[in-house]
Amino acid sequence: MLNTARPSTWPGKVKNHFMKQIFLLLAAFVVAACTQPTPQQAPEPISDIPLGENQETAISNLMETHKAPSLAIGIIKNGVLTGTRYFGEQAPGVPLSAQSMFNTASVHKAITAETVIRLVEKGLINLDEPLSPHYVHPDIAADPRHEKLTPRIVLTHKTGFRNWPYEYDDGKLAFDNDPGEAYGYSGIGFMILARAIEAKLEKPWPQIVREEIYNPLGMVEATTIQEPWMAGNYVIPVDEKGAFKTDFELAYGYWNAADDLYITVKDMAKFLIAVLKNQGISDALAAERIRVQSDLTNNPIWGCDGVVDPCPAPYGHGLGWFVFGYDGNINVQHGGNDRSEAAIAYIELQTGDGAIVFVNSPQGVLLWPKVVEIVDEQQQFTPVFNHIIAKFLTPEE
């Protein structure tokens, strides 16, 4: 979550399925019609989160310190979105509102994971089937280890890849270790998974996500693909000084299964509550979702054993989600961090309590844990992130 920068382009090659790729390219021209949400009657407004004067002041000071012109918060109690707050602007002179769609970066991985889980529930894919019959990334086509990649290996971040190909000296994707062998947070793995599924199902990935997640959950202000209908509702990113980028434009037609989810606080709350209630999946698959399959307790980067008190147990990655355990309570969450955006979305499965924090700031990863500590005094996981952040970042960064 600390480095989710996206590649500027995505190399595409569907192994032995040239005609399928032609289909998908043509289908991309009509994806907008499939993905544009259907207007619905405006819901009842959500109450403002009650904050004391000291809390208001603390948040305002944090936004100024970390160059954040935009901040949105949602609070979930007992499985219900009970309050929201919007601080600042989505663009120069345009106040944030309930309709403001933030780019939430790697939080998109949770949407991708839940899409996959629902396809598994329907029997359309299997968690342990190979991806290679449907798609092989061209950089690894000559390495037979690509045949070991499966949805489960991708969702638990055991692909053997780094985050993105640009992290390799030659800019080409390669295996650092065998798939399934070790944990390594990777966005490119999620893109390979999405490409394989869309080739198998012969549908564009954004259409699959809308059919499996957004439409069933009534998420009309969330999108995997950037489209013209978003105009006027999305939060403009900022530069390193916190000033809005005056030349920013959406990349219409662009999508990334690991990054660049645009969504409102209210729609993210709908998603978290659906996960809490295991909506659309069996109890057995829901249990598999939160079973830690990549333990991070002693991981060189993410590990907290002996240095953070309390270190969660269990602690690691389930199927696409980070899983934190405290006193028998399971917290499932995903965060995101990129050039201008940072976000966290979490829900506790025993209490039904959770929160959402969206930040538009070049220092958002430094800001969101502090906001969570202000608005959710019961949570216990931010010390883990403070420990990880301190390894790599300083306030000046």
**pLDDT tens digit sequence for 132-162:** 999 999 999 999 999 999 999 999 999 999 9
CA distance 397 to 364: 11
Q: Report which DSSP code applies to 287.
A: H
Identify the CA nearest to 131 among candidates 107, 115, 155: 155
Element (H, E) at 97: none
* pLDDT value at residue 284: 97
pLDDT at 272: 98
Confidence at residue 40, expressed as pLDDT on a 0 to 100 scale? 47
Q: Which residues pair with 342 in a beta bridge?
A: 337, 359
Can you say whether residue 19 is alpha, beta or left, with left for phi > 0 and alpha for psi between -120 and 50 degrees? Answer: alpha
Could you tell me where the DSSP H helices lie in the chain?
A: 18-27, 31-35, 53-65, 108-121, 151-155, 187-201, 205-209, 215-217, 265-276, 283-290, 364-375, 382-392
Nearest to 292 by CA among 270, 328, 316, 325: 316
Q: For the whole model, what pTM was predicted?
A: 0.90
With a CB cutoff of 8 Å and minimum separation 6, the contacts of 333 are 321, 322, 324, 344, 345, 346, 347, 381
From CA 378, how far away is CA 28, in angstroms rounded? 45
- DSSP secondary structure code for residue 391 in this structure: H
* Angstrom distance (rounded) from CA 253 to CA 204: 11
- Produce one character per residue of 13-52: b if its CB has 16 or more CB atoms within 10 Å, e if not: ebbebeebbebbeebbeebbebbbbeeeeeeeebeebebe
**Per-residue confidence (pLDDT) for residue 392, from 0 to 100:** 78
What are the residue ranges in the chain where pLDDT is below 70? 1-45, 394-397
- Provide the pLDDT for residue 369: 97
Query: According to the model, what pLDDT value does residue 14 have?
Result: 36
Residues 6+ apart with CB under 8 A from 189: 149, 153, 154, 157, 159, 161, 258
Token pair 């790729």 is found at 21
Alpha carbons 129 and 147: distance in angstroms, whole number: 10
Strands 315-317 vs 322-326: parallel, antiparallel or unpaired: antiparallel
**Cα–Cα distance for residue pair 291/285, rounded to 1 Å:** 10
**How far are the Cα atoms of 99, 216, 267, 279 from residue 43, in angstroms, in the given order?**
12, 17, 12, 21
pLDDT at 44: 52
Q: In this structure, is the dihedral angle defined by the CA atoms of residues 228, 267, 113 and 37, taken in order, positive or negative?
A: negative
* DSSP codes, 218-244: T--SEESB--GGGTTTBPPPB-TTS-B
Q: At which residue do the structure tokens 């606080």 appear?
A: 265
pLDDT value for 6:
41
pLDDT of residue 391: 83
> pLDDT (tens digit, 9 = 90+) per residue, 310-362?
999 999 999 999 999 999 999 999 999 999 999 999 999 999 999 999 999 99
